[in-house]
Every structure is written in structure tokens, then in C-alpha cells.
Structure 1
Amino acid sequence: MSWLPDPFRIANFRAFWSARLLATLAQLAMVTAIEYQVYTLARETMSIEAAALRLGLIGFIQFVPLFFLTPFSGWAADTMDRRAIARLAILIEIGSAGALGLATAQGWISLPVIYVVAVFVGISRVLMGPSMGALASNIVPRDLLPSAIALSSIAWKGATIAGPAIAGYLLAVSIETAYFFAVALFILAIIALFLISHIDQQKSDRRNGPIAQVVAGLRYVRENRLVLGAISLDLFAVLLGSAVALLPIFATDIFGGGADLFGHLRAAPAVGAVAAALYFAIRPLKTNVGVKMLVAVGIFGVATIGFAFSRSIALTFFLLVLIGASDMLSVYVRSSLIQLYTPDEMRGRVGAVSTLSISASNELGDAESGLMASLLGPTTAAFLGGLGAIVVVGIWAIIFPELRRAKTFEPPNDANLH
């Protein structure tokens, strides 16, 4: 296996990578089916604006458990076996996808049923984020971590390409087929997790209690301004600039397509993300990482504005690819900085804060986009979101000079790592 990238020569990393690929592929197939089913169910009796609001509500419902439980899932990831927590999360997702598949096949599916299941989907993501995010650092040596993060991102984003596209074709067969496909992949993912053998995890001291340790994690993020700036930049930029939530509207009502077009557009951002992740896995960033992250978020905003006004399917696909590539660069830099600037016994809690910000930007961003689309229309909503992301970059470059000064991923000798 000498031809493989260095992290892939480690058996545990291969199992971890496979688990992340399969779980993300299953989750994206399930979420794509949920988004499409919510919008089509709502459009049976509602206007485009009202259906857009129902679509955005899915994001808000998933965010509620994330908001309340994420800090404690970070504590759990620092004090318990991270593999066991990830397995529990996947079991919840198996139940969620199975329930939606059965409800759809038997004809008793409805918006309230989907909203209830969405709560459990949110809970599974609460558990999955910090545990899987911190697990890679327990599997590979420190010097291989940036490459491992890029490869892990390939699994994540590669599944984000395939999941929606495959779901689009399966939705054309039947919606329940997409849900049962997700169940099968979740089962394979949990098997891969059981293949991960002993890990070298520095567990946090439980004597201080969960509340005190959660507070310590929040305090660490607040005091480490580079970590705080990187996390909050993604939070506000994507919260304002989320365009993915509007794709059902663009695919069906603006472009006049169906489930297959929606699946392809839903996968487009991940095409760019995987291309970027492949590049960084082979040639990791080494200089001016902070400035490059700021530029990437700015490009994300510009591409979102272009997406708002595009009425060409080919141009829209290209802009979504650009959105995904720029977002991947931002994710790669942020994840590497967080992992390398944070001691292992605190990575779960810091990762939980990062997961919460990502979820807030994604789920609340979806809700915000749905609300804005219902009030102003999808074009204006996407335009204002892209503009907002650009404004956030300018503000963060000023109030967090640490981002502009971050030259490499390695922390300086006087960095606060303990």
C-alpha cells in the first residue's frame, strides 16, 4: 500500500474514513429525501411562499436539539469512548430513516411526522459531530493530521456529491426507496466503526463534573481568539449566505425540473468541495492560511450572488460548484486550526462548539433562507445572503486580526494550548 496517502496506510484510519463516507452518504440521501418530500407535500395545498416557509422549518427543528445538547455531547466525547458515541448516533439515524421509509410506504406520512423525526435526526447529529470530528486525531500522528483532515473531508464531501444525486434518482422511483437505501448504508457505516481497534484518547478528568467541563471548553474557545474567529466566521457567513435550502424552489419552480434535477443541483456544491479537498490532501496549505480562509468565504458570497440571478442550469451548477470549493477551503483551514490549536482532552468540547456553529449556520441558515424566500422571493433572499457573507468577511478581517496573521497551522510557542 505504499502508493496510498500516508494516513490511509493506517488500518484504523481506513475504517474511520469508510465509516464517515458511508454515514454521510446515508445522511445526505435521507436529508435530500426529507427536503424534497416536505416541499412536494406542502405544494399540494400551499403556495410557493408558504411551502418555502415549511421547508425552512425543517432546519429550525433540527437546530433545537443541537443548540441544547451539543455542549454536553462535546463533554461526552472528551470523557467517553468516541467510537461508542458515534455508533449510538448511527443507530438513531437507522431508526429515523427506517421510520420515514415505513411511514411513506404505508401512506401515513405527513409534515408533522417528518418534523418529529427531524428532531431525532438533529439529536443524532449532536452526538456524531464532536465524536467523529475528534476521532481522527486519536488515529493518526500529529504531523499527518492536516492530510487526514483533508482526506476525511473528501469522504464527507464525496458523499455529499453522491448522496443527493443518488437520492434524486431513487426519489424518481419512490421516496421510500431513498429512505431504505439510507438505512442500508447506515448499517454498513456502523460495521466500519466496529472495525476501529484501540485508540489513543486522552480523556478529560471527570471529577470536575459535566457543567464545569462544558464551561471550561467554552472559556477556551472565548480566550483563544484565533479559534473563536475561525468558528464564528463560518457561523455568520453561512448563516446569511445559505443557498442550498432554496434548491427545491429553484429546481422545481424556477427551472421546471423534478427530483433528478434537484438531486444534481443538491450535489453540485460537493463536486467543488471534493476537488478542493483532493488538492489539499496532496498539497496541504502551508502559508497564509488565515488570509486564504477569508478570501474563500468572500468568494462564497460572490458565487451566492451569482446563483441568485442565474437562470441557466449550467451556470447555476458551476456557481454551486464554486460555492462548494470555497466552502471546503474555509472548512479545511478552520478544522486544521481547531485540531492543532486544541489539546486532545479538550477537542471534543471545542469540536462541539464548532459543530454547534456549523449546525447553526446550516440549519438556521436554511430556516432563515426559507423565511426570507417566503417574504421576498428566492432570488432576493439568495442575493441578500451572498451580500451578507461578503460583509461578514470584511468585518471579521478587522475585529479578528489573528485570522489575517495566521501564517501556518502550527501554533506559535506561546499559544494557549493548555
Structure 2
Amino acid sequence: MDRPTHPLRIPDFRAYLLSRLAGTIALSAMAIVIGWQVYGIARQTMSIQQAAFLLGMIGMVQFVPLFLLTPVVGLVADSVDRRWIVRATTALLVLTSVMLGVANYLDRLGLPVLFCAAAFIGIARAFSGPAYSALAPNLVPRDVLPTAIAVSSAAWQVGTIAGPSVGGLLFAIHPDIAYASVSVLFALALGGIFMIGKVPQPPAQADRRPLTRILEGFAYVRRNRLVQAAITLDLFAVLLAGSTALLPIYARDILHVGATGLGFLAAGMGVGAASTAIFFSVRPMTANVGVKMLIAVVVFGLAILTFGLSTHFWLSLGALVVAGCADMVSVYVRSSLIQLHTPDHMRGRVSAVSQLTISASNELGEAESGLLASLLGPVGAVVFGAVGAIGVTLLWSRLYPELKRARTFDPPDILKTEPQHGVAQP
């Protein structure tokens, strides 16, 4: 049988893609609705600075379970059928969205319920992230994995475009409709994962102590300076320059565009990222990958700086689109380096370490943005973070010369010859 030359020719990958697209739309829509409702409830009795701090705490509530569970979830992803991990966590998200919808319908949707839902989302993402990431390489041949990453990232970014817009627009019509739509999309994502056929697991390592195996993931990232550089650069850049938690403040109190405008602002980065991911799915990056990642992070910081200072809706939206393009370049390079430079039997644990840093940069970044906004105001917080991200990138270019020397995604020879599990074998 001829080896597939594109991931979309593989039925299991198509099912995986359907699940990821539907799940991302649902998760992005639910996140924007939760943020808008938290800010709206808080502003009834609090100042902008106090409400901003509460918005940041939504990110913290999602980050804490992920931080606590990271040592375990990577080992689980390398030991348990990854499909069932994603199925279980997607089912939890279905139940969470239904809970929010029922509470909203009964007019019982207060801050405690919203924060409880955020905690459930954090738990679900803690387990599903490493499993999703480690599952994809088992579905496609190694030589088309960068293309699969680009296609998967495009689906994820399309979800981030559609999700906030759909969530904002449906919420503007009626909150019940928004929550019902999110529940249906999560159910569709669950069905997509059930369509994936059996995928061989990495060889069992029953003779190894669980704690030893858990620590191996952290040790591998520490030893592999190229993987370490890609992970940590993304961590500090997005931790500092992430501004998504403050979008409700910009939409309501700075740009004055309401829930509908919030949906467009939240989709802005996704528009740029999705177009870049689609481009890479047709023309994968092949040269000077490390230098391009460094340049992209600087552009990301400059775009966020522009957004922070802007008081015009279209300029703000354009800056977010540019930031999304630059962020996708960084995501594409980081994801390809991690997946291609990590042995399959360790991908779950290394993906868990990567997810911890990503979540730290996103959810913990939201908490940092909320805290800074309560001290410096929302504009001061965004400007401070953008300048910091640019500074970190310049510092990383000196601390990690391995990034500048990374010309291609080619892994070491020992990884090229490592047995793969799934359709990657001829």
C-alpha cells in the first residue's frame, strides 16, 4: 500500500481534525462567554481595576489544576489509550457546558458557578492536552508530520476565530442559545474521537517506577537545549505579552464596542494565526526555522504593544491579526521541534511539560495581566508585557544559540530510526 503523502488522506486523522475543530470552537466560545459574564457581574459592584483582577483569577483557577496534575497527566498519556483520555475529558466538557446552560436558564449563574466551571475546564485540559498532542504523531507518517501539525494548528486557529465570534454573537442574541450551541459542539467533538480506530500504544515500561518515568519528561527537556529553548521562549513571551484576559475591558470600557465587538477582537489573533497555519499546510517551513521563530516573537511583541496603545477599533483588530500571524509561526516551529525531537515513548510526558509552560503563559498570564491591570491599569499592563516579551526574545537569542543554529526540523539520527507506532510504519 502506498504511503499517504498528505495527512488529510488518512481517515483517522480526519476524525481527529473534526474533533479538534469542533472542540476548539466550543471551548473558545465558552471561554469568551464566561469571561464576559464574570466581568459583567463584577462591574455591577466593582471598579474596572477590581473587575480586571477577578478576570485574571479565572485564568488562575484554570491553571492551578493543570499545574498540580502535570506530573501525572504526561505519564497517563504514555500509559493509557490516548483516545480514551480525550474521550473522558471531552465528556467532562460536555457536562460542564450543560451545567452552565441549566444554571443560566434557571437564573442561578453567579460567580461561584462560573469559577467552578473554569476549574473543570482546567482539569479537562490538563489531561486532554498531552493526549491530543501525543496522539497526532501516531496517526500520520513522520515525513508528513510537520504538515499534519500545520493542518491541526489551522483547525485549532479556525476554532479560535469561529469560537469567540460565535460565542459573542449568540450570547448577544440570548445566553441560553450560546450554551446550547457549545454543548452540541462538544458532543460533536466527542463523536469525532470515537471515530478514530485503535492506535498502538508505546511499549509498556512496567519495570520502571512511575516517579522515575515522570521525572524523565522534565529531564529530557532539560537535556535537549533546543526543545528547552523553544518551550521557554514561548512561555515567557506569551506570559508577558498575553492580553486575551483584558479583552472584555477593552471591548466595554476602552473601545466601547460591546459583546459583538468583543467577539471580533477575540477572533482577531485567530484570523492571523489560521491564515498562517493554512499557508504552512501548503508550503511547510523548511529553512532557518530557529531564526524565524525569534523574529516572529519580536513581531508578536510589537503587535501587542500597538494593540495596547490603540483607542481605535480597527487598528486594535489589525494589531491582533498581526500578533496572531506571528504567534502561529512560533507555535508551528515549537510544535514541530518538540514532536520530531522527542522519542514516541516520551511524547506524552514531554507534551505535558510543554502544556504546563503553555498554560502558564496563557492562564497564568491572564492572572498576571489582571494583577498588573489592577495596579497599572489595562493599557499599562499590556504595554509593560509587550516590551518585556521583546526583551526576553533578545535575551534568549544570546542564551540559546541552538535556536539560531536550527536550520531545519530534522531530528538527530537516533530519532529518525526509532520505531513508530501507527500508520507511520510502511
Q: Please give the range of the TM-score, normalised by the shorter of the 2 chains.
A: over 0.9
Per the alignment, residue 308 of structure 1 pairs with 308
User: In structure 2, what residue type is equivalent to 1:123?
Assistant: I
Indicate if the aligned counterparts of 2:342 and 2:415 stay in contact, CA closer than 8 A. no
Alignment RMSD:
1.6
Residue pairs, 1:244-323, within 5 angstroms: 244-323=244-323
Q: Give 3-state SS (helix, strand or coil) of 2:413's partner.
A: coil
Q: Distance in 2 between matches of 1:307 and 1:386?
A: 10
Q: Distance in 2 between matches of 1:251 and 1:86?
A: 34
User: In structure 2, what residue type is equivalent to 1:254?
Assistant: I
Per the alignment, residue 371 of structure 2 pairs with 371
Per the alignment, residue 198 of structure 1 pairs with 198
Say if 1:12 and 1:381 are closer, same or farther in 2 by CA, change over 3 A.
Answer: same
**Alpha-carbon shift at residue 199 of structure 1 (Å):** 1.6
Q: Distance in 1 between matches of 2:293 and 2:189?
A: 31
Aligned length: 416
Per the alignment, residue 145 of structure 1 pairs with 145
Superimposed CA distance per residue, residues 182-208 of structure 1 (whole angstroms, 9 cap, x where no aligned partner): 111111111111110122332441331
Indicate if the aligned counterparts of 1:342 and 1:417 stay in contact, CA closer than 8 A. no
Q: Distance in 2 between matches of 1:279 and 1:244?
A: 24
Indicate if the aligned counterparts of 1:80 and 1:203 stay in contact, CA closer than 8 A. no
Per the alignment, residue 84 of structure 1 pairs with 84
Q: Distance in 2 between matches of 1:30 and 1:17?
A: 20
Structure 2 runs not aligned, ≥5 long? 419-426
Superimposed CA distance per residue, residues 141-185 of structure 1 (whole angstroms, 9 cap, x where no aligned partner): 000000000000011000000000011111102223222211111
Indicate if the aligned counterparts of 2:149 and 2:336 stay in contact, CA closer than 8 A. yes
Q: Distance in 2 between matches of 1:182 and 1:206?
A: 40
Per the alignment, residue 339 of structure 2 pairs with 339
**Alpha-carbon shift at residue 383 of structure 1 (Å):** 0.4
Between 52-61 and 111-120, the greater mean CA deviation after superposition: 111-120
User: In structure 1, what residue type is equivalent to 2:135?
Assistant: L
Residue pairs, 1:382-401, within 5 angstroms: 382-401=382-401
Say if 1:396 and 1:415 are closer, same or farther in 2 by CA, change over 3 A.
Answer: farther
Q: Give 3-state SS (helix, strand or coil) of 2:200's partner.
A: coil
Per the alignment, residue 42 of structure 1 pairs with 42
User: In structure 1, what residue type is equivalent to 2:151?
Assistant: L
Say if 1:179 and 1:5 are closer, same or farther in 2 by CA, change over 3 A.
Answer: farther
Say if 1:209 and 1:32 are closer, same or farther in 2 by CA, change over 3 A.
Answer: same
Per the alignment, residue 424 of structure 2 pairs with none
Indicate if the aligned counterparts of 1:79 and 1:206 stay in contact, CA closer than 8 A. no
Indicate if the aligned counterparts of 1:100 and 1:176 stay in contact, CA closer than 8 A. no
User: In structure 1, what residue type is equivalent to 2:32?
Assistant: T
Taking structure 2 as the reference length, the TM-score comes to 0.95
Per the alignment, residue 32 of structure 1 pairs with 32
Say if 1:5 and 1:312 are closer, same or farther in 2 by CA, change over 3 A.
Answer: farther
Indicate if the aligned counterparts of 2:341 and 2:412 stay in contact, CA closer than 8 A. no
User: Which 4+ residue blocks in structure 1 deviate beyond 4 angstroms?
Assistant: 414-418
Indicate if the aligned counterparts of 1:157 and 1:273 stay in contact, CA closer than 8 A. yes
**Alpha-carbon shift at residue 415 of structure 1 (Å):** 7.6
Indicate if the aligned counterparts of 2:92 and 2:120 stay in contact, CA closer than 8 A. yes
Q: Give 3-state SS (helix, strand or coil) of 1:208's partner.
A: coil
Say if 1:174 and 1:115 are closer, same or farther in 2 by CA, change over 3 A.
Answer: same
Taking structure 1 as the reference length, the TM-score comes to 0.97
Superimposed CA distance per residue, residues 395-414 of structure 1 (whole angstroms, 9 cap, x where no aligned partner): 11111111111110002437
Q: Distance in 1 between matches of 2:149 and 2:283?
A: 12
**Alpha-carbon shift at residue 325 of structure 1 (Å):** 0.7
Per the alignment, residue 348 of structure 1 pairs with 348
Superimposed CA distance per residue, residues 349-382 of structure 1 (whole angstroms, 9 cap, x where no aligned partner): 0000011100000001011111111111111110
Say if 1:287 and 1:46 are closer, same or farther in 2 by CA, change over 3 A.
Answer: same
Q: Distance in 1 between matches of 2:391 and 2:417?
A: 31
**Alpha-carbon shift at residue 128 of structure 1 (Å):** 1.0
Structure 1 runs not aligned, ≥5 long? none
Between 87-96 and 147-156, the greater mean CA deviation after superposition: 87-96
Between 296-305 and 109-118, the greater mean CA deviation after superposition: 109-118
Q: Give 3-state SS (helix, strand or coil) of 2:207's partner.
A: helix
Per the alignment, residue 421 of structure 2 pairs with none
Per the alignment, residue 158 of structure 2 pairs with 158
Between 175-184 and 364-373, the greater mean CA deviation after superposition: 175-184
Q: Percent identity?
A: 50
Between 177-186 and 300-309, the greater mean CA deviation after superposition: 177-186
